[in-house]
Amino acid sequence: LAKTTQPISMDSYEGQEVNITCSHNNIATNDYITWYQQFPSQGPRFIIQGYKTKVTNEVASLFIPADRKSSTLSLPRVSLSDTAVYYCLVGGTYSSASKIIFGSGTRLSIRP
Amino acid sequence: GAVVSQHPSRVICKSGTSVKIECRSLDFQATTMFWYRQFPKQSLMLMATSNEGSKATYEQGVEKDKFLINHASLTLSTLTVTSAHPEDSSFYICSARRTVGFQETQYFGPGTRLLVL
């Protein structure tokens, strides 16, 4: 299981673009990279998932370099409601043995 | 998106009683579900992997006789905390794995807050 490393916390302001980078040096060939958002007393919410290059949805973008040893979650024009903990996880290959292990996550604080 | 529900959302019980938590995948089938526990200000800790039609796989340090898991159908897994004690008070979260082709994604339930008095 690939171990991930993220900054413990980040601060930003409303309207700014926020980029959170995650390191996963031991990512396996078939592993996907998935990002989740968690608010207090709620379950993690799926944000985006990718395998390589760039993935974009209505909420965020995910940038994955060619070596796939890191990834960057990009949140455009954040608002106060984006204050949450963000988790980067790797895994998700088609295997009955695959499971997702959570790291410490990044606590993002957005200020007015 | 895929929806996973949990019931109850919160429960308060007396020490020594058993509590059952249900996890349902509402719009997809899940042969595999996962149970996590989360303490305040900490990350999610995987407790066990629930497999439909077979025994659950528990993580090291998690007592299987204490935390009974049943995955009787492709949309339902239950976690029963037996003889609950105050130290079992925590936030319990389940997830269901959805597979599309070779890609898997876990979707999480809203969590269940357990308070043991």
The 10s digit of each residue's pLDDT in B3-46 is: 999 999 999 999 999 999 999 999 999 989 999 999 999 999 99
Q: What are the backbone angles phi and psi of residue B84, rounded to the nearest 5°?
A: -65, 145
pLDDT higher than threshold 50 for residue A82: yes
pLDDT higher than threshold 80 for residue A99: no
Cis peptide leading into B40, omega within 30 of 0? no
B91: contact with A, CB 8 A cutoff: yes
**What residues in B contact A94, CB-CB < 8 Å?**
99, 101-104
Strands B4-7 and A106-111, by their bridges, are unpaired
With an 8 Å Cβ cutoff, are B106 and A104 in contact? no
CA-CA-CA-CA dihedral for A85, B104, B67, B91, to nearest 10: 20
Touching A: B residues 9-68, CB under 8 Å: 31-32, 34, 36, 43-46, 49, 51
Q: What are the backbone angles phi and psi of residue B88, rounded to the nearest 5°?
A: -85, -10
In terms of phi and psi (left: phi > 0; alpha: psi -120 to 50; beta: otherwise), the region of B30 is: beta
B interface test, pick of A42, A100, A106 with most B CB neighbours within 10 Å: A100
Q: What is the pLDDT of residue B114?
A: 98
User: What mean pLDDT comes out for the span A49-78?
Assistant: 96
pLDDT higher than threshold 70 for residue A97: no
Strands B112-116 and B10-13, by their bridges, are parallel
The 10s digit of each residue's pLDDT in B46-101 is: 999 998 888 999 999 999 999 999 998 999 999 999 999 999 999 999 999 998 88
**What residues in A contact B4, CB-CB < 8 Å?**
43
Q: What is the pLDDT of residue A96?
A: 42
- Please, which residues have CB within 8 angstroms of residue B101's CB and are 6 or more apart in sequence? A94
- The span from the CA of A52 to the CA of A96, in Å, is 23
- The span from the CA of A94 to the CA of B105, in Å, is 10
- In this structure, are residues B19 and B68 in contact, taking their beta carbons and an 8 Å threshold? no
Helix residue spans in B24-88 (DSSP H)? none
Q: What is the pLDDT of residue A1?
A: 55
**Full 3-state SS string of chain A:** CCCCECCCEEEEECCCCEEEEEECCCCCCCCEEEEEEECCCCCCEEEEEECCEEEECCCCEEEECCCCCEEEEEECCCCHHHCEEEEEEEECECCCCCCCCCCCCEEEEEEC
How many alpha carbons fall within 13 Å on the CB side of residue A69? Answer: 3
How sure is the predictor about A100, in pLDDT bands with cuts at 50, 70 and 90? confident
**What residues in B contact A87, CB-CB < 8 Å?**
43-44
Give the residue with greater pLDDT, A27 vs A92.
A27
